[in-house]
């Protein structure tokens, strides 16, 4: 029977509302068997067409139509890449995939009030889906968060509080408050990853039920990395693919704790101070699931790179000039693609997918500074 498990191996029932294990570590859902092409519910035009890949639930899902985003060709210096623009999701970022499944579980568990911490996209996603679920959300966000993301959260009825200091200060404050309000962080909650993993299933279906050779993603806390690892791992277990794609991961030079640990051959992140970055969605100095993210990249024979701030800015402009209005966090994948190709990690002829996680429409103040 499926259960939750912490790093020490202790199991917990799926129906119990909890956000971490008794040992203080993050929880994961025990591996599921995956699905085949025949298990896709083609009548459903959202990511819930892959509901057979999720843990069972009694009630209807909390959904706003997330998923089924397009897969577009993009030429990068002669390298053909397929980009997945995740701003076609309801609140304009990939976070909706995880939030939909997480909020469905919370509603089924009887949670009526919750707390989230976010640098922007996660908070606005949680605010929207909490409204749809009838759950009151309090969002803690760094004081430098893009105004459009804060405005969106407030419009959905969430209580938003800005926390002085860094993104890590906001996370620390949320953990302190978890004693009085149920903490349903997208970084911690195991069902969030269950939603993000459906992106792997969607990429698989987009490619006529085959796996790409590599997937290139930006990374802060690493939920996208872990979700893809889970999803492709289940497809492999089900016999629906013959190998996992390589996970190629980018962080900004100014805040790259996972990349530093990966380069050093470490199993976890070493705490240190990092500088602010224009890629606000990746500014996470102490990722909660650092061990799991690093292990996932290595298990796929993956790689990591870091990107200078000037290259992130240039990539944001370049993508926009080609019709793709990606926020700087997403734009990180463009110089990363070039770096991986220069290193021989990517070669022409293979199928490569790059995930554009969110839109620049929600970082209007940042874009204004870039234009200036």
* Secondary structure of the chain in HEC code, one letter for each residue: CCCEECCCCCEECCCCCCCCCCCCCCCEECCCCCCCHHHCCCCCCCHHHHHHHCCCCCCCCCCCCCCCCCCEEEEECCEEEEEEEHHHCCCCECHHHHHHHHHHHHHHHCCCEEEEECCCHHHHHHHHHHHHHCCEEEEEEECCCCHHHHHHHHHCCCEEEEECCCHHHHHHHHHHHCCCCCECCCCCCHHHHHHHCHHHHHHHHHCCCCCCCEEEEECCCCHHHHHHHHHHHHHHHCCCCCCCCEEEEEEECCCCHHHHHHHHCCCCCCCCCCCCCCCHHHCCCCCCCHHHHHHHHHHCCCEEEEECHHHHHHHHHHHHHCCCCECHHHHCHHHHHHHHHHCCCCCCCCCEEEEECEEHHHHHHHHHHHHC
pLDDT tens digits for 147-159?
A: 877 888 999 999 9
CATH number of domain containing 203: 3.40.50.1100
pLDDT tens digits for 66-119?
A: 999 999 999 999 999 999 999 999 999 999 999 999 999 999 999 999 999 986
112 within a domain of the structure (yes/no): yes
Instruction: Examine the fold and report which residue of 190, 206, 227 is the final residue of a domain before the chain moves on.
Output: 190
The verdict on 204 and 346 lying in the same domain is: yes
The verdict on 215 and 362 lying in the same domain is: yes
pTM over the 0.85 mark: yes
Segment 342-369 shows an average pLDDT of 91
252 within a domain of the structure (yes/no): yes
pLDDT grade for 341, boundaries at 50, 70 and 90: very high
Instruction: Examine the fold and report which residue of 143, 171, 190 is the final residue of a domain before the chain moves on.
Output: 190
The verdict on 83 and 107 lying in the same domain is: no
The confidence score (pLDDT) of residue 180 equals 87
pLDDT grade for 1, boundaries at 50, 70 and 90: low
Into how many domains does the chain fold? 2
Domain membership of residue 128 as a residue range:
95-190
Instruction: Examine the fold and report which residue of 138, 173, 190 is the final residue of a domain before the chain moves on.
Output: 190
Mean pLDDT estimate for the chain: 94
The confidence score (pLDDT) of residue 168 equals 80
């Amino acid at each position: 029977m499926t259960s939750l498990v912490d790093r020490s191996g202790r199991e917990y029932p799926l129906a119990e509302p909890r956000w971490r294990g008794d040992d203080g570590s993050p929880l994961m859902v025990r591996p599921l068997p995956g699905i085949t092409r025949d298990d896709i519910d083609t009548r459903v035009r959202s990511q819930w067409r892959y509901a057979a890949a999720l843990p069972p639930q009694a009630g209807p899902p909390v959904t706003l139509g997330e998923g089924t985003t397009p897969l577009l060709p993009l030429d990068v210096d002669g390298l053909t890449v397929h980009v997945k623009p995740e701003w076609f999701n309801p609140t304009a970022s990939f976070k909706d995939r995880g939030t939909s499944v997480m909020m469905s579980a919370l509603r089924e568990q009887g949670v009526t009030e919750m707390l989230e911490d976010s640098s922007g996209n996660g908070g606005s996603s949680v605010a929207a889906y909490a409204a749809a679920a009838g759950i009151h959300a309090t969002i803690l966000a760094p004081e430098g968060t893009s105004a459009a993301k804060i405005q969106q959260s407030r419009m959905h009825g969430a209580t938003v509080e800005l926390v002085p200091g860094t993104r890590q200060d906001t996370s620390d404050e949320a953990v302190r408050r978890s004693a009085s309000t149920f903490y349903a962080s997208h970084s911690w909650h195991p069902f969030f990853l269950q939603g993000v993993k459906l992106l792997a299933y969607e990429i698989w279906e987009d490619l006529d039920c085959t796996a790409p050779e590599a997937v290139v993603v930006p990374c802060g806390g690493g939920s996208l990395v872990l979700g893809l690892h889970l999803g492709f791992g289940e497809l492999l277990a089900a016999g629906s693919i013959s190998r996992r794609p390589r996970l190629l991961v980018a962080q900004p030079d100014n805040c790259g704790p996972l990349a530093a640990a990966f380069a050093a051959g470490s199993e976890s992140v070493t705490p240190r101070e990092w500088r602010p970055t224009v890629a606000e969605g990746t500014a996470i100095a102490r990722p909660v699931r650092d061990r799991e993210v690093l292990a996932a990249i290595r298990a796929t024979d993956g790689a990591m790179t870091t990107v200078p701030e000037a290259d992130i800015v240039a990539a944001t402009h370049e993508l926009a000039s080609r019709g793709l209005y990606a926020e700087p966090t997403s734009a990180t994948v463009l110089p990363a693609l070039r770096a991986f190709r220069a290193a021989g990690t990517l070669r022409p002829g293979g199928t490569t997918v790059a995930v554009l996680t969110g839109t620049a429409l929600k970082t209007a103040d940042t874009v204004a500074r870039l234009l200036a």
